Copies of this chain bind each other. A is one copy, B any other.
């Protein structure tokens, strides 16, 4: 797990009235979600297990390097589980962990805010243009 306690990049620690555990939690969540391909990859896993090439085919323009890198990171962060099946040749499947699946709550909150915010901005714009 890549926790923020160790990571000096984002430092909210000294901001008063903001409990440290909250800051760490937000940063952990951000670490899981940021990067160009994390969300697309997670989107492909919503409806169940997928193999490397399946994911690759479903995400236009992703390179195998990035897919490999991001899957490894998601695995390290406990979001995705990688299973090697003892077939010949081996097949490998990726799927959400329970933790990974539950991040949907965060995405839902993001969808809701994003849509409300978009409406707010649109209304503001349309009033300006009367």
Chain A residues packing against B (C-beta within 8 Å): 1, 3, 9-12, 14-18, 21-30, 32-34, 36, 39-40, 43-44, 46-47, 58-61, 78, 98-99, 102-103, 105-118, 120-121, 124
Contacts and interface: CB of A to CB of B under 8 A. Distances in A.
Nearest to A1: B121
Q: Is the interface of A mostly helix, strand, loop or mixed?
A: helix
Q: How many copies does the complex hold?
A: 2
Nearest to A103: B113
Nearest to A17: B47
A29 B113 contact: yes
Contact of A14 (B1, B60, B106): B60
Nearest to A19: B111
